Structure 1
Amino acid sequence: MKSEKKGLLVFLFTVALSYSVYGQDIKKDTILVRDLSGPNSVSQQMNKDNTTKGLFYIGSGLDSLDQLKKRFYKKTGFIINADYNSQLMAATEAIGDNVGASGVFRIYGKYNLVGRGTSHEGGLVFKVENRHKYTDLPIREWGLEGVGYAGLMQSVYNNDRWRVGNLYWRQTFAKANIVAYAGFLDVTDWTDIFVLASPWSSFNNLSFATGSSTTGGSYPDGALGLMVSAWLTDNIYVIGGLIDANGSAKEFYKSFDTFFTKFETLKTFEVGFTPNSEMPILQNVHITLWQVDETASAPSGWGLSGSISWELGNKLFPFLRGGWANDGGSFFTASVSTGIGYNVIGSNVFGLGLNWNRPNEGLFGPGLKDQYLSEIFYKIQVAHHVEFSPNLQFMLNPALNPNANFTTIFGARARINI
């Protein structure tokens, strides 16, 4: 039997053993865990799913299902959600097709098995996806090959088909001041945390998300690794992670083999400050350091990113973010972003961002111009389970398009969750 299959069996056996020992614990969730994960994480996504309210009421059926899931979670520690996401983009100037479109179906949830409702709570977190294209190019590749933008106009809408992005054990320690993840992880769940970083509901362009597109290692997800976050004081935290740089969510189990035989990893370390420890991503200042080993597809490298984002008056959310990279296969060697988010009403959010970046010559080739872009989006919470987000991106000097110095991208994104 191959080593990765053996490792998978060991992981599943550990989960099953934990269930047999602790599965009958029916305590309610009462302990406060000051979550240091980003908006992409399963825990943050489920919190948003459970608390948002829409402009329109579409019936009691889904509300009844919500209440049923909450009661089942309180009794068993298990909860599961699902959503379907669609994205359409069209460019005024392109080097290939002017239109790209993709969809993603996701199933995600958690199963708290150990010490539920206490400061040593532990359980399984999972997320399974089917990412697929509607057009010849999925949107992730369409930005590069269709528009000629040296970067990712959308990072998650590819054509991977079935994939496992999360399958890990989450454990709290020390009165829930320390949280550890171990298993198959997504590096964007904890790296360079930022409230508007989610490509599912906020900015599309990766320049406004994790690392401002300067983090190397190609942002592995579904890769074997470990993350630990800790509150050093009521306002200062640290987050450290180590993840297999060769991991792939399409064949996540192979990460057992590559992690232990090659040990080519992406390491991240972040130190941050917030006056609001219960909602730390709303008012946040941090610096993130990363380093990645050389792999078959990319050279080694390291870099820094930083972020200042601050909620003002429960409505306005200005930010200033940037990053620098010394290779490592990063999209950009330098990038700076600024902008605002504005909570218009309820869960409806307007976002405006401006970015300057310098493409990585080691990845895209020499002689490329600096790129300038702006993105505008408006997320409308149509109903409790329905979102719609029109968006615009304006690009000056798309570096891989020799025929145009400017292009406009019109986009629309929709999400339905249950």
Structure 2
Amino acid sequence: MLTFEEALSLVKDKVAGAGISPCPETRPLDQVRGRVLAEDVTADRDYPPFNRATRDGYAVRSSDVKTAPVSLECVGEARAGKPWPGTLKERAGACVEIMTGSPLPEGADAVAMIEHTRVDGRRVELLRVVSPYENVVRQGSEAQAGSAVLSRGRRLTAGEMGLLASVGRTQVKVFRRPEVAIIPTGDEVVPAEQKPEWFQIRNSNAVTLAAQVEAAGGVPRVLGIAPDEIDPLRRLVQEGLESDLMLLSGGVSAGKYDLVEWGLTELGAEFYFRGVAIRPGKPLVFGRACGKFFFGLPGNPVSTFVTFELFARPVVSMLAGGDFERPVFLRALLGQALRQSTGLTTFMPARVALVNGDPVVHLVGWQGSGDLVGMAAANCFLVVHPEQTELAEGDWVDVLPKEQ
């Protein structure tokens, strides 16, 4: 059985090697959050487009302030959106009052902070020496006109959207979002709006997966619940393979009525692995059929959630035009001693909180991989690696944030 790292690398290699190229499309700026950029974006002018003051104070010629204290004459004012129209080029002994964000007047090359001055009418006494370009962001120091500010393949979050607006890109070329088919399976599963019998469960996995797919940059396409019968399952799988990626939840264990692998085999599927040394999620299946990749996710809700985050989310990212975004493990101090000897990489619902300035992780009370109440109480998963058979309170450990 593959280890977690081996399985993750195999998924990356198979998807990258498929040479899938999503189609670009142009969308208004306010519609591209979470999308992946399909072109390089360049600066339309220098940024900043002028020498910009970073402090309130007085714009000066640094050559006039080589010694301190020194008295200068204030000859004007510069503020954001209202630059001073004159020049200090030939005006030795003069300064201009200036506000943060304002363009430096011509001839000035530094700003003396207002805290280091004394004002008496139009005379300003500078109490400290000022160096060239002190308290100034120089023109073009952030980006020069024509230089690349964002690269193709970059996922667009709020910061990138602000930059696009700054360079005047109100129409943005992005990659099409991949469609992801979601097929929950099992005779025990009923629609969420239906009152279940005592032996049934509501279809929570489809709702969870749809939210995860959307957060990863895909478009969820929730199909019907597949019963534990081969013909209806085959029809839904055939429909699911029309999408860019297919996710099935449940039916991948070794039980008599776990029919997903059988149905996929009938369609000529190639299975890259059938199980990974992780808990929860050990029965995870990954393969390709009819030219489309698929995951068979274990049906227990926590297993479904975890295996999507670990393996399917990076694939959705690649199909959306981005990089294979591996799960990011952060570090925290373990809140209580822990022992295990499973030989598996284990992901347990937990909560991280700051204690005396340090991140400390505690397990939440949960009853196994079917416990959605416990998972909802968590903000992360404590990651215990196979070699970590005994962990002491205060040990540094890996944690996987629940929301990537």
Same fold flag (TM > 0.5): no
Which category describes the TM-score, using the shorter chain as reference length? under 0.3
Q: With structure 2 as the length reference, what TM-score do the two structures score?
A: 0.21
Larger Rg: 2
Higher strand share: 1
Q: With structure 1 as the length reference, what TM-score do the two structures score?
A: 0.20
